[in-house]
A and B are shown apart, each in its own frame.
Chain A
Amino acid sequence: KNQVEQSPQSLIILEGKNCTLQCNYTVSPFSNLRWYKQDTGRGPVSLTIMTFSENTKSNGRYTATLDADTKQSSLHITASQLSDSASYICVAPNTGGFKTIFGAGTRLFVKA
């Protein structure tokens, strides 16, 4: 069964601290894995996209890693800011790249 599981479900951190969000996927065949940021009441915005041959990809303070052997991905946020408060969704398309499997998301709260 194609699934994407994320942890933790929610996370509270202080501004300036780092954090890491986890994503385990069982999607086959695997095409790529993406992390999206979704602000409350808004549509998701892409942060990173990684194919199975990529181990890490950065986008500013966001760094995603991918282990295709263990089927795990992580999103590391460095020096968090209040504006990082959002839901972070791990997404894995399967065959054809369009039948997308969404994780339930991690809700991150950054406090001053």
Chain B
Amino acid sequence: GAVVSQHPSRVICKSGTSVKIECRSLDFQATTMFWYRQFPKKSLMLMATSNEGSKATYEQGVEKDKFLINHASLTLSTLTVTSAHPEDSSFYICSAPTTGTDTQYFGPGTRLTVL
């Protein structure tokens, strides 16, 4: 099946710094990608929809200036957590649907810890 990768798999940063997380579709092109965050023992919560060549669409309550999304190409979307705070510590997962289907393939996730 289709493969979606994320980098890094885990990152630890200091409060106030910015962290960039990459999501790549390895063997297919994705005009749309999705970013989720997941707290321990909780389900995935959609943060934003990343659109290639246009602005991302953010879910209610998600600060677009804090979580910057750039969908630079048909195989890469990046999520930058700016001015990170400890409460931003979470598991961030991206997903991408293959063209012509609505089957989503999830990345392996990125564990962010903000000290």
Interface residues of A, count at CB 8 A: 22
Q: Mark A93-108, 1 if CB is under 8 A from B, else 0.
A: 1001111101111010
> Closest CB of chain B to A22's CB: distance in Å?
15
Total A-B pairs in contact (CB under 8 Å)? 49
A-B contact pairs, 15 of them (CB 8 A): A31-B102, A43-B6, A44-B106, A46-B104, A97-B97, A98-B32, A98-B34, A98-B97, A100-B34, A100-B46, A100-B104, A103-B43, A104-B42, A105-B43, A107-B41
Instruction: List the B residue with the shortest CB-CB distance to A99.
Output: B46
Tell whether A98 pairs with B106 under 8 Å between CB atoms, given A41-B91, A41-B111, A104-B43.
no
Which secondary structure dominates chain B's binding surface? strand
Min CB distance B3 to A, Å, is 11
Instruction: Indicate the member of A44, A96, A97, A104 with the most B CB atoms within 10 Å.
Output: A44
Alpha-carbon distance A97/B41, docked complex (angstroms): 25
Q: Does A49 contact B (CB under 8 A)?
A: yes
| Number of residues on chain B facing chain A (CB within 8 A) | 25
Closest Cβ of chain A: how far from B93's Cβ, in Å?
5
Question: What chain A residues lie within 8 Å of B109 (beta carbons)?
Answer: 41-43
**Residue ID in chain B nearest A32 by CB atoms:** B102
Contact B41 A49 (CB under 8 A): no
User: Quick one: closest B residue to A107, CB to CB?
Assistant: B41
Q: Is the CB of B103 within 8 A of A43?
A: no
Contact yes or no, B103 A89, CB < 8 A = no
How far does the alpha carbon of A105 sit from the alpha carbon of B109 in the complex, in Å? 17
Q: Are B49 and A43 in contact (CB under 8 A)?
A: no
B41 with A45: CB separation less than 8 A:
no
Q: Are A43 and B32 in contact (CB under 8 A)?
A: no
Complex Cα gap A75–B103 (Å) = 19
CA distance A98 to B49 in the complex (A): 9
Give A43's nearest chain B residue, CB to CB: B106
* A47 smallest CB distance to B (angstroms): 12
